[in-house]
Structure 1
């Protein structure tokens, strides 16, 4: 089992190193076929890496995260599409989004009240509403 854990650690160190290449170098290459060609070695590495693991409990999730999610998100990244299209501001976010099934939500801007006269909580509207009887 010690050998399997060492292989698992090596796989994820190589994965993080490959994603550092994608973040620092491939992101600077113009989108399209040229970026896709620069990412082809990473696709090959992601396909080969899970083959070093022999335990189903380590190989199954690693294969899913690397081969399925990682390659398809990087494929979309090569054409400026998908969750990695505006390159995330930090390397940790880039690696997390590329290899894990997460999506970072943007906070919607806060809306400020535009017209205070129509706000039902203002004292002026309370005075107007007090004259109206529900039994009319």
Structure 2
């Protein structure tokens, strides 16, 4: 009964949301256009998924240029993430298949977690979060491409190749959130700070504020997921990364034009180790605290079982189809 009730609530909530969005889309055609309206206006089949999901349609990616003042991206953001991703092209199915296999390889470890060190489990969770989110968003993008005929902005761009915190947060990790926080938090604080500390150093308080807001939002999200009292670890994680990123940007500004730069072969592992170690220390324990890891573990096992059943079913159908064709050829011969 509990499951049926959850399904009924799910259907009811989404039905109300879709009806409300249909109303908004219709009423928007009847009143004068405001400064935030799109030109031309979106069709209903485009408007609903964009309003419901954390996605954004690519607009003329080849002609886009980056924001001149966005220290959250590498090299002054001379090239925005969308254009960078578009130039590289979409990732191959082999890329996603490999990551799916890696995710499946975690399942036996989860089933025997009692014999595995807790820190190793948390480390696996970090890869699980990244791979799971990227595959999920890739499926959403594929659906949008097939059903709507549009390309979506990328959400991730191989974050394990990051050469700095600036590169990680600005160009490779959860880019949709960066695109949301930039106009709502970063740019307004940047404008106000410029009048106080000058244009050169204004990005520092803007970054600190952006990461503080991100920490607050993550605390709220995890609270609603688990209904557990916030521990403050998420706030500390994002605040700490904001401070470290501000220091990194300040050093880059001070050494501008200097040859003292770490090569990628050194900076990449340093960045990855730093992000993973701080994530295992402060971010991932919150997943355990709100029991999100247990839910993800159960869903991963169910997903692997589903793929196994699909494979067995396809094998059964193909074998019988092969036997049928062979028998038909034999009878005709």
For the aligned pair, the TM-score class normalised by the smaller chain equals: 0.3 to 0.5
- Structure having the higher helix fraction is 2
- What TM-score do you get using the length of structure 2 for normalisation? 0.17
- What TM-score do you get using the length of structure 1 for normalisation? 0.38
Structure of greater relative contact order (alpha carbons < 8 Å, 6+ residues apart): 1
Larger-Rg structure = 1
